[in-house]
């Protein structure tokens, strides 16, 4: 069964550094998402992406964040200047957008980001 | 936007007992309600979902019920087993014409099944 994949699984960075988190959504999916989960807390929406543009973003997704689909398979989240409070697990998710079961979002295994 | 409340935050049961987790949502236009199971350090895995045109859905030991009038939905696990121990999240999507399916999650329930 196809799965969403993410790299790296863990990333440690210094405050102020840029990080890029990578995701490969399921191949025929049309909608892509980034969520984050601070340790011990609930999953929070960051941004959704459809038709090569951001369709919705949360208040967390400020100017330090950007997303890109550089080719037909990858979907990336960039944090330009990391802060301590960016430490979290970042999940990528995707869904088909087609009729019949199109709402189901499939999550990747996550990237644990630690900002020191 | 959607607001999802989930209770209880922790639930401890003996193996073989039933477990029930409840969620309420605020957006009456929401029409899809998934439940995710998350084991420690792992991704959220969809275990069951329900659409608003039905009131109940069952899959072996897991069932979900939906009350659209009261805007709440519940997860029922029967004959619990130790491997059911995990964090369970309910979620609801943003509805409306401009929605792209963003999920709002509940706060999570830590379920512990004691052998």
Out of B32, B43, B102, the one facing A56 most closely (by C-beta) is: B102
At B54, the pLDDT band (50, 70, 90 cuts) reads confident
At A18, the pLDDT band (50, 70, 90 cuts) reads very high
Average pLDDT of B20-31? 91
User: Taking 90 as the threshold, does the pLDDT of residue A2 lie above it?
Assistant: no
For the record, the structure tokens of A13 come out as: 């960075």
Out of B34, B102, B106, the one facing A45 most closely (by C-beta) is: B102
pLDDT tens for A26-38 read 998 999 999 999 9
Taking the mean position of all CA atoms in its chain, how far away is CA A86? 13
CA–CA distance, B15 with B12 (Å, rounded to integer): 10
Q: Would you call B94 an interface residue with chain A, using a CB distance cutoff of 8 Å?
A: yes
pLDDT tens for B65-76 read 999 999 999 999
Contact A59, A77 (CB under 8 A): no
Q: DSSP character for A84?
A: G
Q: Would you call A11 an interface residue with chain B, using a CB distance cutoff of 8 Å?
A: no
Question: Nearest-CA residue of chain A relative to B44?
Answer: A107
Q: How many residues does chain B have?
A: 115
Percent of chain B residues topping a pLDDT of 90: 76
DSSP run (H or E) holding A78: strand A75-79
pLDDT tens for A82-99 read 999 999 999 999 998 765
Nearest to A82 by CA among A61, A60, A62, A64: A64
């Amino acid at each position: 069964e196809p799965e969403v994949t993410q790299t790296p699984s863990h990333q440690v960075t210094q405050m102020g550094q840029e990080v890029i988190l990578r995701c490969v959504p399921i191949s025929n999916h049309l909608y892509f998402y980034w969520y984050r989960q601070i340790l011990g807390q609930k999953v929070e929406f960051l941004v959704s992406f459809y038709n090569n543009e951001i369709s919705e973003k949360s208040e967390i997704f400020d100017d330090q964040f950007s997303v890109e689909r550089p080719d037909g398979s990858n979907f990336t989240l960039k944090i330009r200047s990391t802060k301590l409070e960016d430490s979290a697990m970042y999940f990528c998710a995707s869904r088909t957008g087609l009729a019949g079961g199109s709402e189901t979002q499939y999550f990747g295994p996550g990237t644990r980001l630690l900002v020191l | 936007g959607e607001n999802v409340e989930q209770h209880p935050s922790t639930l401890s049961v003996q193996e073989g007992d039933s477990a029930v987790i409840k969620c309420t949502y605020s957006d009456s236009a929401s029409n899809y309600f998934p439940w995710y199971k998350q084991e420690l350090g792992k991704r959220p895995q969809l275990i069951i979902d329900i659409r608003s045109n039905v009131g109940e859905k069952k899959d072996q030991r897991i069932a979900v019920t939906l009350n659209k009038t009261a805007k709440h939905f519940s997860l029922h696990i029967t004959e619990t087993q130790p491997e059911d121990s995990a964090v369970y999240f309910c979620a609801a999507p943003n509805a409306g014409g401009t929605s792209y399916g963003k999920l709002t999650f509940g706060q999570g329930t830590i379920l512990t099944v004691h052998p």
